[in-house]
Amino acid sequence: MDGLRGLTADDPQWIGDYRLIGRLGSGGMGRVHLARSEGGRTVAVKLVKAELAAEEEFRDRFRAEVEAARRVGGRWTAPVLDADTEAAVPWVATGYIAGPTLSEVVGSAYGSAGSYGPLPEYALRRLAYGLSCALLDIHGVGLVHRDLKPSNVLLTIDGPRVIDFGIARALDAVGDQTQTRTGMVVGSPSFMSPEQVQGHRVGPASDVFCVGSVLAYAATGRAPFGSVASGVHAVMFKIAQEEPELADVPAGLRELIADCLAKDPAARPGPEEIAARLGPVPSGSAATPWLPAELIARLGQHAVRLLDTDTPPGGQPPTLTTTRVPTGPAPAPGATTEPRRRPRWLPLLATAVVAAAATAGAVSLLGGGGAEDSASEIPARFVGTWSGPVLRDGAPTGQQRRFVITNGKVGEVVANSTSLGATYECRSDGTLVSLTAHDGRPALRLDTKVVRSIPAGRCAALGEHILEAGSAGTLKWAAAGRTATLHRAGPAEERVPAGYLGTWQRPDADGHGSRRMTIKQAPAGSTVLTTVVVGPGLRCTAHADLYAAVDGKLTVGPPVADPAAPGCAPGGTSILRLNDDGTLHREFLGDDKQPRTYSRAE
């Protein structure tokens, strides 16, 4: 909120269903605005630069990255709530986090006025734990952040939050062209990994290196390989060739940070190891706040300003007086909007937040969560990825149902579901209708809309869906006479094991054609399999999405043929697994033909 500026004549009043309040900043991707939904939720809306939107390669990558980012759950990141990747100028809306950036708090390397300076060791441990947990969530859906830096880490009363995951990869799609045209660099030089500065392949270990740099900065107020003020190329050379400067890092964290900053990606600890090596970390509570009292007070001031900030008609700078709630379409240019009186609880809550921030012992008034948590109506126990087999009247149907549930409020899309059968795949968006109690347990009631059907026209929304908290950490799903017990999906189910990656081939039985399959890494719900069938007078290319990787097997949905390849025979859901002899076994559900065996292509 410290960087909030008023709207200008160039800013729209609305983006999608979100009414803009002010500008939060700008960067390589475009502008970032503070906005509110019609239901009153505060969000950050990122509007892509027009020149990037004109690049079809960027738009394709951006579309895929936003879809993957929607599936990132957990409390350590800013949830992706909404997006329009097909708009003339694409945009994405994320939950707004009412807290300063780490760069604003530490400040010395960025010249921030009123900064606190380096964090004490107990706060650094909590920061390291939160960043490692955020990486688990991000990497768990197949994303790599690629631009983890102090300005992408926000500090809240109950821990750090990571923002902007996945966007840098979309920028890479046009990086070579756009860098010359706009001077944009993907990544921040002082917080890049050796792989990035040398132009090598960037994987999850690159984010671990960046965590090491961020922690060193938080501990000392300086980037471990120097500031770009000494020259970008000098900093990049140090990152690639020299050791970091860690003399002022607390001794209890120096070894861990040094290991994160290993030049060899394979030598760096994984996020799980980072969390384990930190040992017991205070969770952040009224009894054990994770930040010094001065910073707790600042976070409270952020929350107060967020509650009481609005933009008057005409795009003037934000004031701290009246909150207007949109009740219909955006007003015409020059039109005025009648202010609505703020609810009585708003100034009372603001007063409570100030009191909570004044002493660390009153942090519990915020319920132990950041501002975006208090705005959510979805219990944390529901958030995440869930899957299980579908029953009808108690009998197995052979179908699978998968839900990805995110934070949100009534009237917002909070769930994406996939129904997978032997010959079809259906995807739906679920809008939260109500959060009701049933048999003493919370339940989500969703109104669903089909957003993808394979084959076209096959899928139906099934009316209202109900999700209830089950026993032993499960969810119970019911819709149109169908039920399922859903279990939380682990990170391993969200990505393709390394042994499957590459190109596989086999000849057709008649010897006159061939089939080639290429398997790539991508998160569940994205295309991982491309099949090319070549025969006399035929060349058919089709693509299939990953449903899950469970028990050493890949389940991929029905293939979708390229429109330019007429005559391709439709296929169904298939199961792939590696054989002991190094070949690949593929069988189709509901198909009585013999399984197909593929060998690695030379």
pLDDT in tens, 236-284: 999 999 999 999 999 999 999 999 999 999 999 999 899 888 876 655 4
Domain ranges of the chain: 14-278, 293-330+340-374, 380-489, 493-600
Residue 500 reports pLDDT greater than 90: yes
Q: How far apart are CA 413 and CA 287, in angstroms?
A: 36
Instruction: Say which residue, 598 or 539, is predicted with more confidence.
Output: 598
pLDDT tens track for 422-455? 999 999 989 888 887 656 678 899 988 888 899 8
**In whole angstroms, how far apart are CA 25 and each of 34, 44, 94, 581?**
9, 10, 15, 55
Helix, strand, coil % over all residues of the chain, rounded to 5: 30, 30, 40
pLDDT above 90 (res 185): no
Catalytic one among 10, 17, 82, 147? 147
Q: Is a pLDDT exceeding 70 seen at residue 401?
A: yes
pLDDT of residue 288: 62
Per residue in 42-97, pLDDT (tens digit) is 888 988 888 888 888 788 878 877 877 777 866 788 888 888 988 888 999 988 88
Per-residue confidence (pLDDT) for residue 307, from 0 to 100: 58
360 vs 374: CA distance, rounded Å:
19
Which CATH code for domain 493-600?
A: 2.40.128.20
β-bridge partners, 516? 505, 532
Give the pLDDT score at 565: 62
Q: Does residue 355 register a pLDDT over 70?
A: no
* Known catalytic residue at 147: yes
pLDDT of residue 177 exceeding 70, the answer is: no
> What pLDDT is recorded for position 434?
86
HSE value, Cβ hemisphere, 13 Å, CA-based, for 563 = 0
Q: What is the pLDDT of residues 98-116, one digit of tens each?
A: 788 899 899 844 344 457 8
Q: Is the pLDDT of residue 37 over 90?
A: no
Nearest C-alpha neighbor of 188 from the set 161, 219, 220, 164: 164
The fold adopted by the segment(s) 380-489 is: Lipocalin (2.40.128)
* DSSP three-state, residue 129: helix
Written as one letter, the residue type at 200 is H
What was the pLDDT predicted at 169?
Answer: 54
Decide if domain 14-278 falls under CATH 3.40.50.300: no
> Do 493-600 and 14-278 fall under one CATH topology?
no
Residue 409 is predicted with a pLDDT of 81
352 or 599, which is more confident?
599
Q: What is the mean pLDDT of the chain?
A: 78
CA distance 487 to 490: 9
SS (HEC) of 366-393: HCCCCHHHHCCCCCHHHCEEEEEEEEEC
